[in-house]
């Protein structure tokens, strides 16, 4: 197992990297490889003579060459495969290119294209990346972790492949999500790729199509459940604590039956969070806070309907409740502002609900005088009409569920409703921005989960904010690592949401934007991380240092994808 190390020359002050080997191996390792950018002196000192063409390229020239190749690909999936192959051979070049074309490439390296890649993962498999831990090899967990590429791992993203985006159970194919998520961590927050590790915990799949696919590379059995499942997860977590005790652990795309209980079970034992729950909640809250600045209203005066009560919906509810309490409301008062709707309609006492859904149960007396289309079920439209909703979230993956009647009712309830169809990929959004703007005659604020092009309405261009977790999770992760906190709290996510909303300028608010431009993501991640370190310090969980010192620590921790000089690490 290697240890990535950046050194400073004590005489010249020059930064350099200790190369652990010479020759062919150096050109084959994605973290150390510079390709044609190895200068002539290093080609001699590191045993590279004859392995590379005569010409020496700058990083700028390499980016031009690779972007030309990227642009020549005829489909998004081909572009995804090209970028993955680039990452597999030269990570510095990969991230330098990604940062130069972030807005264009984000939909390629992550949603929506990553969903297609996960569906075909076994057919597209080229080269190993990360660790695969299956129920059959769990007894060898220490051997598995000893095969991690680097010993100084600081960030782990793990999935069991059960709920990949809005696509469901993709088994081993879910590995594309931790790989993609780590790419976003590195690009947005500058965590060096050598300090990261994607993990797939393979407990089987209930996807019959995968089990019948002769090329499927995952464990060919039904998913483990109950104690058998928990024993696998416990072994993984204990392995992480033994081998990487200071690493941040992110749960990603676990099914609803496991996501909440695993988060609650382990959040005090290991520094961890669930981006689908907490990250989604925080970025949604940031949009709400920006919307309140546009509407010049208080969050406590809103009536919020959340259509969908899975991880995203409940994550939003929990984070909004935290914010409402911060505004001075009691827990009960905060819960009363939010209306949760699941498959059987509005959550009302007496219904069979999961433990985490109980916070939004309404008393029968609260809805006794509501006018309903059908007394047997309180529908989305019933709820919006009767509670006079001013904010509407969609997290169901049900395309078109925000129809004309829903949007018109929102317009009747207030002058400027906030509509947030944040399901992804794009084709699963509850409505399109164009439909929402046209139906409300332009009188709405809108943010989506997937990227949408600007909408032309009455001669004006309306830009659409993407409620993308990228605004939150990289900065939260970076801040937690810099602070050295033993756990990630709800208050840290609240601090991150407030910091994110404050980055939106008045000019951007005037245009209806509620999040900063995505090309400012590095500045965003730095400020979010700083907010997390401040909250960690305030709560007694983080480094005790001054505000400026903490911000300097954050900035110093952010890797920039440039080539440093190499010196061979002598044994």
> Which of 470, 466, 465, 567 shows the shortest CA–CA distance to 509?
465
For residue 365, what are its two tokens? 């007396």
Give, for 17, the enclosing helix (H) or strand (E). Answer: strand 15-19
Give, for 8, the enclosing helix (H) or strand (E). Answer: strand 6-8
User: Which pLDDT belongs to residue 11?
Assistant: 87
User: Which pLDDT belongs to residue 9?
Assistant: 85
As a whole number of angstroms, the distance between CA 511 and CA 308 comes to 29
* Residue 34 DSSP class: -
Which parts of 160-314 are beta strand (E)?
196-202, 248-251, 272-274, 304-307
For residue 504, what are its two tokens? 């939106």
Q: What are phi and psi of 455, to 5 degrees?
A: -105, 130
User: Which pLDDT belongs to residue 112?
Assistant: 83
As a whole number of angstroms, the distance between CA 287 and CA 513 comes to 9
User: Which pLDDT belongs to residue 571?
Assistant: 54
For residue 316, what are its two tokens? 């939003």
Residues facing 340 on adjacent strands = 306
User: Which pLDDT belongs to residue 140?
Assistant: 97
The pairing of strands 460-462 and 455-457 is: antiparallel
Give, for 177, the enclosing helix (H) or strand (E). Answer: helix 176-189
Q: In the chain, what are the helix, strand and coil shares in percent, each to the nearest 5? A: 50, 10, 40
As annotated, the active-site residues are 110, 181
**What is the pTM (predicted TM-score) of this model?**
0.94
Q: What is the residue-level pLDDT of the chain in tens, covering all 571 positions?
A: 889 988 888 888 889 999 999 999 999 999 999 999 999 999 999 999 999 999 999 999 999 999 999 999 999 999 999 999 999 999 999 999 999 999 899 989 998 899 999 999 999 999 999 999 999 999 999 999 999 999 999 999 999 999 998 789 999 999 999 999 999 999 999 999 999 999 999 999 999 999 999 999 999 999 999 999 999 999 999 999 999 999 999 999 999 889 999 999 999 999 999 999 999 999 999 999 999 999 999 999 999 999 999 999 999 999 999 999 999 999 999 999 999 999 999 999 999 998 899 999 999 999 999 999 888 899 999 999 999 999 999 999 899 999 999 999 999 999 999 999 999 778 889 999 999 999 999 999 999 998 899 999 999 999 999 999 999 999 999 999 999 999 999 999 999 999 999 999 999 998 889 999 999 999 999 999 999 999 999 999 999 999 999 999 999 999 999 999 999 876 5
> Which of 61, 73, 164 shows the shortest CA–CA distance to 118?
164
**Domains defined along the chain, listed by start:** 6-57 (no CATH), 60-270 (3.40.50.10380), 278-465 (3.40.50.720), 471-557 (3.40.50.10380)
């Amino acid at each position: 197992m290697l240890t990535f190390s950046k050194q400073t020359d004590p005489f010249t002050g020059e930064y350099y990297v200790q190369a652990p080997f010479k020759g062919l191996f150096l050109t084959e390792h994605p973290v150390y490889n510079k390709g044609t950018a190895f200068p002539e002196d290093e080609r001699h000192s590191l045993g590279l003579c004859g392995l590379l063409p005569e010409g020496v390229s700058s990083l700028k020239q390499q980016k031009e060459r690779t972007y030309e190749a990227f642009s020549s690909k005829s489909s998004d999936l081909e572009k995804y495969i090209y970028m993955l192959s680039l990452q597999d051979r030269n990570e510095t070049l990969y991230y330098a290119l990604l940062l130069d074309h972030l807005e264009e490439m984000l939909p390629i390296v992550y949603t929506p294209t990553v969903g297609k890649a996960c569906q075909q993962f076994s057919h597209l498999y080229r080269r190993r990346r990360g660790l695969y831990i299956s129920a059959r090899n769990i007894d060898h967990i220490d051997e598995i972790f000893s095969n991690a590429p680097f010993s100084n791992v600081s960030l782990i993203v793990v999935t069991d492949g059960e709920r990949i985006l809005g696509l469901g159970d993709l088994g081993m194919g879910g590995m594309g999500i931790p790989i993609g998520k780590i790419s976003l961590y590195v690009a947005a927050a500058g965590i060096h790729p050598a300090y990261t590790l994607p993990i797939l915990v393979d407990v089987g799949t209930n996807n019959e199509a995968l089990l019948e696919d002769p090329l499927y590379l995952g464990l060919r059995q039904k998913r483990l459940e109950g104690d058998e499942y928990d024993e696998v997860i416990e072994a993984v977590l204990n392995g992480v604590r033994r081998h990487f005790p200071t690493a941040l652990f992110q749960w990603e795309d676990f099914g609803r039956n496991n996501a909440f209980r695993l988060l609650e079970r382990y959040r005090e034992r290991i520094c961890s969070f669930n981006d689908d729950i907490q990250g989604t909640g925080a970025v949604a809250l940031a949009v709400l806070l920006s919307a309140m600045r546009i509407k010049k209203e208080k969050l406590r005066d809103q009536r919020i309907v959340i259509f969908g009560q899975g991880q995203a919906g409940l994550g939003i509810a929990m984070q909004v409740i935290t914010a409402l309490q911060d505004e001075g409301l009691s827990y009960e008062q905060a819960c009363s502002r939010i209306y949760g709707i699941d498959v059987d309609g509005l959550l009302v006492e007496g219904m069979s609900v999961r433990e985490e859904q109980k916070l939004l149960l309404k008393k029968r007396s609260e809805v006794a005088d509501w006018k309903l289309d059908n007394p047997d079920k309180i529908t989305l439209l019933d709820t919006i009409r009767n509670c006079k909703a001013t904010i509407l979230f969609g997290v169901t993956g049900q395309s078109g569920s925000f129809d004309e009647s829903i949007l018109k009712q929102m317009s009747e309830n207030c002058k400027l409703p906030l509509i947030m169809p944040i399901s992804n990929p794009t084709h699963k959004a509850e409505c399109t921005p164009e439909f929402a703007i046209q139906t409300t005659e332009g009188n709405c604020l809108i943010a989506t989960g997937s990227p949408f092009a600007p909408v032309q309405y009455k001669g004006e261009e309306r830009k659409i904010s993407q409620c993308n977790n990228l605004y939150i999770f990289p900065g939260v992760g970076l801040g937690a690592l810099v602070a050295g906190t033993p756990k990630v709290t709800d208050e840290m996510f609240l601090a991150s949401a407030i910091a994110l909303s404050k980055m939106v300028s008045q000019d951007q608010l005037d245009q209806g934007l509620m999040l900063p431009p995505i090309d400012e993501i590095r500045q965003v991640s730095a400020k979010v991380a700083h907010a997390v370190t401040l909250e960690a310090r305030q709560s007694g969980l983080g480094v005790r240092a001054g505000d400026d010192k903490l911000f300097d620590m954050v900035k110093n921790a952010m890797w920039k994808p440039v080539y440093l000089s190499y010196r061979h690490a002598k044994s």
